[in-house]
Structure 1
């Protein structure tokens, strides 16, 4: 499998492509990373250095890949955080070019906007761009529960309302929706869930909620689920593998006391997930 991953890059720490590429490689995926920014570190530190790449520069990199005749071999275009308005059109152009070369390729979009605790942390134009232009062209999206609510104009909280919101998102274009950070009021205390909704059904998995904030964990989740689902066509299996890998990555990070994901140290969790959580069909 080959993935064209158009995301940010940091030298220090692990977010964007700096979080997504290695786990995919560790499970045998060939990744062609295209950077939208190249910062010293992620912006959560409050200070960083390095360039936000111009959309045309990003487009030029994709064009160079196309000139090597590589687009016909791409199975997935994956995108995450979009730092500026212009990058959305560049990503959609890349998707169109890849699908013209390989009609069986899919576009997986992680519509990064914010979360329930921090609110929206991207430029005001980005959520509108994602909702109106980008998501309708995606085959798979991986919003958290907060982002799903914005995309659909709903307030999902219960399992039923989250399923309904996922269906509303699927009606916008994507066939498959992975909802992360699902927090239902009736869930057992100290737990968190992920929900996968496809044309074939819906599945949920529950894990302990670790007392930490981990920048980049959503990027790892989107990358692994997309890769596993594309490889197997089995959403429940992809959900089980991804959940196991990400939970063990977060556990190792929490135990290390470090702020940044222990991405390399947790590599066996990607290659050989323990499959320690039950995936339950809910529809």
Structure 2
């Protein structure tokens, strides 16, 4: 890499419900020679509720993190969470509007930069690190591990904002895991919504949408699902037993973060990757695939 350091925004879920995503992302970055420099004194980006209350307030919350990164001398920020990324990108975009910029800066008591780029860790690994570097770091390829990649509805959408991969048929995660020596099975529902945002007010919607994704994964006879979103992972993994009870199904499909799978093929420890944090035990499928 031309620049081994990158400003890193873990987001609130990375310090709580998706600790394993944060751990595995940092572990793989370090293994690939990248130093993720956590943004100093970062704060919640306001993901989900803030923009429903006030768009300028939402932009100011994310804009503050961009300003912190710029103060540290960074012009590129990466974050594992698609929802955080959407907010960071929206803030930079809103700050380009003179009227909005003045209101955002007033709320920040500072200035929201428009020259700090935000990208997902998925995009970072693909474009900044590169597939060749990833291949060269693999010591334990897993050709017998059948994985399907589920991107969810936020990772590449809306396309004018995210500006990464194909919004209808993304292939970045597929390409990265194939470079890691994993058998990636095409997934026809890769950008369907899992219903995560409806989980509290309309659990029935969330259950139906998540169940549809799990049904398709079983139809494809895959060992596990790979994701790049904390909300998607929570809905498909943590709530899998709830989905089974509600729909009379018997799914037992591990749901990995793609960084955990990358780390496995690079010989990183289960502890470093946070595999014990997964609700559906991944060890039986890893054993069947020869990873254990």
Give TM class, smaller chain.
0.3 to 0.5
Tell which has more relative contact order, 1 or 2 (C-alpha 8 A, sep 6+). 2
**TM-score, with normalisation over the residues of structure 2?**
0.36
Structure with bigger helix share is 2
Q: Which has the larger radius of gyration?
A: 2
Structure with bigger strand share is 1
